[in-house]
A = this chain, B = another copy of it.
Amino acid sequence: MVTDSNLISEVSGTGFIPHLALDFVIIGFHEQELKILILEYENTSLFALPGGFIRMDEDLEEAARRVLGERTGLTDLFLQQFHTFGSLERSDPESMKAILEGKGFAAGEHHWLLQRFVTVGYYALVDFTKVSPQPDLIADRCGWHDYGRLPQLMQDHTRILQFAMQHLRTNLDQELLGFSLLGEAFTMQTLQNLYETILGEKLNRSSFQRRMLQLGLLERLEKSYTGKAHKAPYLYRFKKLGIAPASF
């Protein structure tokens, strides 16, 4: 949905709150690996977290959902604000200027993107298979990278990413319900793998299973016959908790 007016305003800054940005750590899970959505600027070989700006007439949260939608093609995602970053060392006008000029935009000394920015950090948990990554107007590519093998990111984006992961780790149980990281149905082993990947440590199988089941958030479905020579695991999904569960 890139219109001319979008293009003009994103590059000129018209209609956006100046000096204030959004940055996103968009997290997926695929083949036992955490994946992070990263932008690439071809001419400079720079990598960055997806980001965006807030329109003057737009709620912060609304802006976050809009930008997230623009990068992933998805709406209604689990989205969590975790920290706002405002160090002066954040800005890196040289790199930004190179990126802009590489894309053919005139980047005078006072181009609005070259100014100092404070940025509000969000992370999103998404279903890897449902996302269709879209670069923004000044990026050349937008794609998944393995969390364990990320390229060096521009500015303080690595720090932002680490903050996000730390926040996610400490809130993992509370945010279980927002887990869009897995498909509709999954086995206990897949869930445990996800936990272990996020936490960065091995968990005990029986304890993990017991704890997950005791939370009362999982619904057991049919068995999943994988064709392997052993007992077939059950599939689970997260219960849709409309209202508080009846106590009888």
**Chain A residues at the B interface, C-beta cutoff of 8 Å:** 17-20, 54, 56-61, 63, 81, 83-88, 116, 118, 120
9 A-B pairs within 8 Å (CB atoms) are namely A17-B118, A18-B18, A19-B20, A20-B20, A54-B118, A59-B86, A63-B86, A81-B84, A118-B120
Residues in B neighbouring A60, C-beta threshold 8 A? 84-87, 118
CB of A36, distance to nearest CB on chain B (Å): 22
In the complex the two chains form, what is the Cα distance from A36 to B162 in whole Å? 33
Is B116 touching A88 in the complex (CB atoms < 8 A)? no
Residues in B neighbouring A56, C-beta threshold 8 A? 116
CB of A170, distance to nearest CB on chain B (Å): 9
CB of A236, distance to nearest CB on chain B (Å): 27
Is A83 touching B85 in the complex (CB atoms < 8 A)? no
**Apart from A20-B118, A54-B86, what are 9 other A-B pairs with CB-CB below 8 Å?**
A17-B19, A17-B20, A17-B116, A19-B19, A59-B88, A60-B86, A81-B83, A84-B120, A86-B120
In the complex the two chains form, what is the Cα distance from A85 to B61 in whole Å? 9
In the complex the two chains form, what is the Cα distance from A54 to B88 in whole Å? 11
With A81-B83, A83-B81 as contacts: A88 and B19 at CB distance below 8 Å: no
CB of A174, distance to nearest CB on chain B (Å): 9
- Chain A to chain B: the 5 pairs with minimum beta-carbon distance, closest first: A60-B86, A84-B84, A17-B19, A84-B120, A59-B87
Residues in B neighbouring A18, C-beta threshold 8 A? 17-19
Is B61 touching A87 in the complex (CB atoms < 8 A)? yes
